[in-house]
């Protein structure tokens, strides 16, 4: 699989491409790492804004960051003028945080030329590159009719029945990327009504382990491969990634792809769903 990442150097050389759509997918609520706080809006010039919390989440279904319905993807495409052949570069204002989530959404709906800006806005700024104080206004000139056939890759997103079946079969390795203390129930969950612990037979690999020491970029492919090998993951392993609400699990999912693994999927409901349902088994 092609690398999901592009560098700030690459973006700086290609900002004038007519088929390039640069999209800011930053979120307001950052959990699991110390957030970078901004006093005012700072953007990369030429970028649009798409909200993960609203435009790329199914707000009509109970849950947090529920995977969007096809109609929502079509509406975003219409808003920006995207087609499945468009080149899309996603970034966020934390370096690497919410952009992997948006990347997996677009990939799961068949957008092949979609990439993550490694280091995002913080790296772009640290290099002294030009910034702006607003986003582009969408042109409303749609290249994708809302009736065009888009559909989700059903293997990309797992549900509670899939996880229950996997507890019995053990076909896939379930990797929980929350902090170790949360995984073992030694720290309280940040969301009310959610039990402590983890999905039976899952393993823990906190998502910060795949990021550089400053938390802004992914580690190199070689370092990521070594990390996964140190967990005794086989080269043909099948993974289901989980976290608190389906956000940071995508960081680990992307890291696995960079490391050379291809059979990856996301448990979208993650612990916010599993931990809130008293009928589901847990381990500490």
CA 261 to mean position of chain CA atoms:
16
Q: Is 234 helix (H, G, I), strand (E, B) or coil?
A: coil
> Can you give the three-state secondary structure of the chain, one letter per residue?
CCCCEECHHHHHHHCCCCCEEEEECCCCCCCCCCCCCCCCCCECCCEEECCCCCCCCCCCCCCCCCCCCHHHHHHHHHHHCCCCCCEEEEECCCCCCCHHHHHHHHHHCCCCCEEEECCHHHHHHHCCCCCECCCCCCCCCCCCCCCCCCCCCHHHEECHHHHHHHHHHCCCEEEECCCHHHHCCCCCCCCCCCCCCECCCCEECCHHHHECCCCCCECCHHHHHHHHHHCCCCCCCCEEEECCCCCCHHHHHHHHHHCCCCCEEEECCHHHHHCCCCCCCCEC
Q: Which residue has the tokens 């920006």?
A: 80
250 is catalytic: no
C-alpha to C-alpha distance for 199 and 174, rounded to whole angstroms: 8
Pair 160, 167: CB distance under 8 Å: no
Catalytic residue among 194, 243, 264, 272: 243
What is the set of active-site residues? 243
């Amino acid at each position: 699989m092609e690398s999901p990442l592009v560098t700030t150097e690459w973006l700086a050389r290609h900002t004038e491409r007519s088929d390039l759509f640069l999209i800011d997918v930053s979120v307001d609520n950052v959990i699991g790492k110390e957030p970078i706080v901004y006093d005012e809006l700072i953007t990369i010039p030429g970028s649009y804004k798409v909200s993960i919390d609203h435009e790329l989440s199914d707000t009509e279904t109970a849950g947090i960051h529920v995977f969007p319905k096809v109609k929502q993807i079509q509406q975003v495409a219409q808003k920006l003028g995207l087609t499945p052949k468009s080149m899309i570069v996603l970034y966020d204002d934390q370096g690497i945080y919410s952009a992997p989530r948006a990347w997996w959404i677009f990939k799961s709906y068949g957008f092949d030329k979609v990439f993550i800006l490694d280091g995002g806005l913080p790296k772009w700024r640290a290099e002294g590159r030009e910034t702006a104080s607003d986003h582009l206004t969408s042109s409303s000139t749609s290249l994708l009719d809302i009736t065009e056939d888009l559909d989700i890759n059903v293997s990309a997103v797992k549900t509670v029945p899939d996880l229950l079946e996997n507890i019995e079969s053990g076909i896939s390795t379930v990797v929980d990327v929350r902090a170790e203390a949360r995984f073992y129930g030694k720290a309280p969950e940040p969301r009310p009504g959610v039990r402590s612990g983890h999905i039976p037979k899952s393993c823990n690999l906190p998502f910060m382990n795949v990021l550089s020491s400053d938390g802004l970029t992914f580690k190199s492919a070689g370092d990521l491969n070594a990390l996964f090998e140190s967990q005794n993951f086989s080269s043909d392993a099948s993974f289901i990634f989980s976290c608190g609400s389906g956000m940071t699990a995508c960081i680990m999912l992307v890291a696995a792809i960079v490391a050379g693994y291809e059979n990856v999927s996301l448990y979208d409901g993650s612990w916010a769903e599993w931990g809130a349902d008293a009928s589901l088994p847990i381990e500490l």
